[in-house]
Chains A and B, each alone.
Chain A
C-alpha cells in the first residue's frame, strides 16, 4: 500500500528558481527519506530526517518534517538543469512482520529549464 504521496506529480521551473516538493504519509514513522532517480533506474539517497527532527539541511537541500500533519517538504534552492530528475519520499515504519519497511511514494518529476 502507498504510504508516502508526493505533490505535485510534475513540476517545471526555470534554472535558478527554487523547487518545492511535498510528501504526505499516513502512519507513525521512524524516519523519512528523500531519494532522487535519473532515467528510471537506480535511486540515490539525498537526505534522512528522523521523527524527532523538524528541519535538516544538506547543501542546496532543505527538508522539513511536521509529524502532527504527517507531512514533509523538500526544497531545492537555486535549481540547476542537472537537478532534472524524479524525487521520491520514503517513510520508514514498522511492518506487520515487525521489521522496518521503507515505503516509497510515486514521486515528483522535476524539470529544470536552462
Chain B
C-alpha cells in the first residue's frame, strides 16, 4: 500500500475486555514497530519486529500485552483485560531496513478504556 495503515482508527472498550489492534506496514518494509503515546506525552516503545528474527519485546509494559507479525506483513497488538491506564494512542511504524533508519508511521489507533 501507499502508507502504513492502522485499524481501527478509534476503539472504545470497557475495562476488562480484550482488544486487538491491526497494522499493515508498507510493502517490502522488513522492520515494524509499535509505540504507545499517552496524552501530551512522548512515544513509548513497545515491541519491534525485524524479518524472521525474534522480536524485541523489551518495551511491553505487562504480560497483558502481546503482539504478532506474520512474516513481513500484518501485525496485531493484543491487550488483554484492558485497564483505564491503557487508554492512549497506539502507533505503528515500519522501516525498510534494520538499523534505526527512517520510520513511516500510521495514523494510530485511539484506545479509550471506560
Q: Identify the A interface with B (CB < 8 A).
A: 2, 30-31, 33, 35, 40-45, 48, 88, 90, 92-93, 95-97, 99-107
Chain B residue nearest to A104 in the complex (CB): B43
- From 76 to 106 in chain B, residues with beta carbon under 8 angstroms from any chain A beta carbon are 89, 91, 93, 98-106
A2: chain B residues within 8 A (beta carbon): 42
* Least distance between B48 CB and chain A CB atoms (Å): 6
Query: Is B42 touching A105 in the complex (CB atoms < 8 A)?
Result: yes
Which stretch from B14-22, B33-41, B65-73 is at the chain A interface? Answer: B33-41
Q: Other than A30-B99, A90-B43, give 9 A-B pairs with Cβ distance below 8 A.
A: A42-B91, A42-B108, A45-B102, A88-B42, A99-B56, A101-B56, A103-B45, A104-B43, A107-B42
A83 to chain B, nearest CB (A): 19
Q: Which residues of B contact A102 (CB under 8 A)?
A: 33, 45, 100, 103
Closest partner residue, chain B, to A43 (CB atom)? B105
- A2-B42, A88-B42, A97-B58 known; A40-B100 Cβ under 8 A: no
**Does residue B75 face the partner (Cβ distance < 8 Å to A)?**
no
